[in-house]
Structure 1
Amino acid sequence: MFDQHVAPMAARKIAKKEHFKRAETYAAEYREAARNTVEAKRAARKEGKFYVPAGAKVAFVVRIRGINGLAPKVRKVLQLLRLRQIHNGVFVKLNYSTLRMLQRVEPYITYGYPNLKTTRELIYKRGFGKVGSRAKGWSRLPLSDNRVIEANLSKQGIICMEDLIHEIYTVGPSFKQANHFLWPFKLNSPKGGFSKKGKLIHVCEGGEAGNRGELMDGFVRKML
C-alpha cells in the first residue's frame, strides 16, 4: 500500500516546488514593472513632462441589469460576453471589436480595469473552472486544487493558480484559453447597495452604468 503512494506524493512535491518557483518569478516581474513605472514618472517630472501610462489591456465587466426591455442585439452581445445573468462578471481582452461590444451594452453593465490584487482576489475567492465539452456538457469545478488547472490548461503552459492569474492580468498569449476556462464569476449584490441615482444613470453622472476605469477595484470588492 505504501509503495503505491510514493510516486504520486513525490510528483506532488515536485509540482509544489515548481508552483512556488513560478510564483516567485511572477512576483519579481510585478515588482520590476512597478519600479519601472515609478522611475518613468520621476524622469518625466524632471523634464517637466507628464507621464502617460500604457492603455489597459483587460477589463472586468459586470452585468448590473436584468432582462427587462432587452433588444435582440443587446441580448446577443451579452450572450457573446457570457453575461447571461445579473451580477455575473467576466474578464474581457480590450481591442476595437470588444470596445464596440461594451459600448453597445453599456446601459446594462459596468466595467473597468482591475489591478493585480483585484484579479487575484476574484480568481482565488470566486474562481471556478469550466470542465468538460459542449457534447458531454460542462461542469463547474472550484479551483481548490492546482490539478484541475493543470488537467485543462497544461498545453498552454498553465499549471497553477499563479500561472492563471498571470495569464489573465498580463493578457498573455493563451489569454483566450485561460479566460474560456474560467466560469463567469457569480458575484453578490454590492455591500451598501447601488447608488441612489440608480443603474440606468452613467457612472459620470453619479449612477452605476458604464466605464469606471481604475475605480472598478473598489466596486468589485463590494461584490466579493
Structure 2
Amino acid sequence: MYAAIRIRGTVNVIPKMKKALDMLGLKRINNLTLWKEDRQALMMITESKDYVAFGKVSDEVLKELIEKRARPIVPGAKVDTKKVLAELAKGKTPKQAGIKNLFTLSPPRGGFERKGVKVPFSTGGALGNRREKINDLIKKML
C-alpha cells in the first residue's frame, strides 16, 4: 500500500493542486491516507508531490499505525487489528476493512529532514517520493 502524508498547508495553492489534495482526502497538515498500489492512485499522489510525502508502507509500520491511530467507521465500535490487516492484505480498501482512511498524526519528533518542508526528499527535504523511507517518517509521527 501507498501512504500519503500532507506536509504543507493550503495558502497560495493553485486550484488544480487543491482539488488533487481533496481527492486524496488530505485536508490538513499531518494527515495520512492509505492507497492501493494502482496506477490511478500513484498518478494522483505524484501530481501533488510538492505538498505531500509518499511511499510504500511496510507491514509492521502498517500494523502499528492501525493499532495506534485507526478509527472505526461505526462510532463506538472497536478496531480489530488482525481482521483489518487481513482485509487490507486481500486488496480491500480501508473503508471496506471497517476503518476510516484518514489517520491524524503528530508532527514528527525531531522535526523534518535537513532542509525542511519546501524541498524534495531527493535533495535533502521532506517532500515527494520517499519509497521505503516513508516508514521512518510515519514512526516519528506516531
TM-score (norm 2): 0.90
2:130 is aligned with 1:212: yes
Report the secondary structure of 2:73's partner residue. strand
2:106 is aligned with 1:163: no
2:12 is aligned with 1:61: no
Q: 1:94 to 1:126 in 2, by over 3 A?
A: same
Amino acid in structure 1 at the alignment position of 2:139: R
Distance 2:71 2:94 in 1: 16
- Residues matched between the structures, number: 142
| Aligned counterpart for 1:92 among listed residues 10, 27, 35 | 35
Q: 1:214 to 1:81 in 2, by over 3 A?
A: same
Task: Tell me if structure 2 keeps the 8 A contact 1:60–1:111.
Answer: yes
Q: Which residue of 2 aligns with 1:19?
A: none
The structural deviation recorded for 1:102 is 1.1
The structural deviation recorded for 1:161 is 2.1
The structural deviation recorded for 1:120 is 0.5
2:1 is aligned with 1:83: no
Distance 2:37 2:13 in 1: 24
Larger Rg: 1
Q: Which residue of 2 aligns with 1:174?
A: 92
Distance 1:200 1:181 in 2: 32
TM-score (norm 1): 0.59
Amino acid in structure 2 at the alignment position of 1:109: V
Distance 2:54 2:60 in 1: 16
Q: Which residue of 2 aligns with 1:20?
A: none
Within a 5 Å distance, the mapping from 1:62-211 to structure 2 comes to 62-131=5-74, 145-146=78-79, 160-168=80-88, 170=89, 172-175=90-93, 177-178=95-96, 181-211=99-129
The structural deviation recorded for 1:201 is 0.9
Q: 1:120 to 1:86 in 2, by over 3 A?
A: same
Report the secondary structure of 1:215's partner residue. helix
The structural deviation recorded for 1:174 is 3.0
Distance 1:88 1:194 in 2: 15
Which structure 2 residue ranges, 5 or more long, are not aligned? none
Amino acid in structure 1 at the alignment position of 2:4: V
Distance 1:87 1:126 in 2: 13
Distance 2:83 2:67 in 1: 12
The structural deviation recorded for 1:180 is 7.3
Looking at secondary structure, tell me which structure has more helix per residue: 1
Amino acid in structure 1 at the alignment position of 2:28: Q
The structural deviation recorded for 1:108 is 0.4
Q: CA RMSD in A?
A: 1.9
Distance 2:135 2:26 in 1: 19
The structural deviation recorded for 1:196 is 3.5
